[in-house]
Structure 1
Amino acid sequence: MRSVEEWIGKTDDTAIPPRVRLRVFEKFGGICQLSGRKIMPCDEWDLDHIKAIWRGGEHRETNLHPVLRAHHRLKSSEEQTEQAKCDRIRKKHLGIWPSSSAKIKSRGFAKTRNV
């Protein structure tokens, strides 16, 4: 049974308190969950959402894990690219994606005879 209540952020961008950072760090034994490397005192690290918020994840303690900052930025970049593609596809299906204003240029019909 857990003696401390689980922290849940009031909004998706609520800052994570230091006590929660420490609990999550200790829960995973100080291991980066993306690279498997031990996080040293000199390393910069973040807490990452296991299930991204845009995919339905929650901003709570059980959905966080420690990762090295360099690996976190790479993962976040890949997720942002994937999210942008999903948004584009959804907008196209709803008919709200802007159509191109550029005209299709043609070079005309090719000449087949020397007349």
Structure 2
Amino acid sequence: MSRSVPEWIGKTDDDAIPPRVRLRVFERFGGICQLSGRKIMAGDEWDLDHIKAIWRGGEHRETNLHPVLRAPHRVKSSEEQSEQAKCDRIRKKHLGIWPQSKARLKGRGFAKTRDT
């Protein structure tokens, strides 16, 4: 069966998701929060979350979105940010661009000296 409406794809990773797309994604998942499994009720605050995070290579498109309640989404996002920061630190260290600790530099005579 072909799709009657073309899939929405954001031009940039931070493009706002149009209300019509929010509705389509909400209905595709039956209004169920994909993190808690709870039905999203009228008045509940909810977001659209990327199934595969953009920083992991996911795309900002309709098929990569699912509805989630705001509170569980914040917990998930916080955990992902910690994981992303750790991955960035490891990658920088492997590339030799992560700064050495100031304690190590101080012992080698590289610490700033005070002009008198």
TM-score (norm: length of structure 1): 0.88
Structure 1: distance between partners of 2:59 and 2:96: 30
Aligned length: 104
What is the CA distance between 1:102 and its match in structure 2? Answer: 1.6
* Greater C-alpha radius of gyration: 1
Q: Which amino acid aligns with 2:72?
A: H
Q: Which amino acid aligns with 2:82?
A: T
Structure 1: distance between partners of 2:8 and 2:27: 15
Structure 1: distance between partners of 2:101 and 2:82: 21
2:23 aligned partner: 22
Q: Secondary structure at the match of 2:92?
A: helix
Q: Secondary structure at the match of 2:67?
A: strand
Sequence identity (%): 88
Structure 2: distance between partners of 1:71 and 1:103: 41
Q: Secondary structure at the match of 2:102?
A: coil
Q: Which amino acid aligns with 1:2?
A: R
1:49 aligned partner: 50
Higher fraction of helix = 2
Please list, as runs of the form range in 1=range in 2, the aligned pairs for 1:76-95 lying within 5 A after superposition: 76-95=77-96
Q: Which amino acid aligns with 1:68?
A: L
Please list, as runs of the form range in 1=range in 2, the aligned pairs for 1:1-115 lying within 5 A after superposition: 1-102=2-103
Q: Which amino acid aligns with 2:42?
A: P
Structure 2: distance between partners of 1:103 and 1:54: 32
How well do the aligned residues superpose, as a CA RMSD in angstroms? 1.1
Q: Secondary structure at the match of 1:46?
A: strand
Structure 1: distance between partners of 2:80 and 2:9: 23
TM-score (norm: length of structure 2): 0.88
**TM-aligned CA distance change 1:82 to 1:63, over 3 Å:** same
What is the CA distance between 1:103 and its match in structure 2? Answer: 5.2
1:110 aligned partner: none
Q: Which amino acid aligns with 2:55?
A: W
